[in-house]
Amino acid sequence: RTNTAEKYSPSDRSWTSIPDMYNTRSNFGIEVIDDMLFVIGGFNGETTIYNVECYDTQSNEWYNATDMNLYKSALSACVVR
């Protein structure tokens, strides 16, 4: 489990640390909508969680997003527009 994250720059072929997520987790889902990265659910070492956090690539900050209604771990996610 981790709360750390990195971003990849294809032009530089390099990884850079970004601020830590609020929640430590593993087995989470992840999706991108526009310039926002959503980290969904997962396992915190004790229980399955329903928290959703989003990372704004423009401001380089994490925000709490609307949590799921159900606890989910080892899940798949997709964006439907």
Per-residue pLDDT reduced to its tens digit, 4-57: 999 999 999 999 999 999 999 999 999 999 999 999 999 999 999 999 999 999
pLDDT for residue 78: 92
pLDDT for residue 56: 97
Residue recorded with tokens 């310039």: 35
68 and 41 in contact (C-beta within 8 Å)?
A: yes
| 49 exposure class (CB count in 10 Å sphere: 0-12, 13-18, 19+) | buried
Q: Whole-prediction pTM value?
A: 0.89
pLDDT band (50, 70, 90) for residue 74: very high
The average pLDDT across 48-76 equals 96
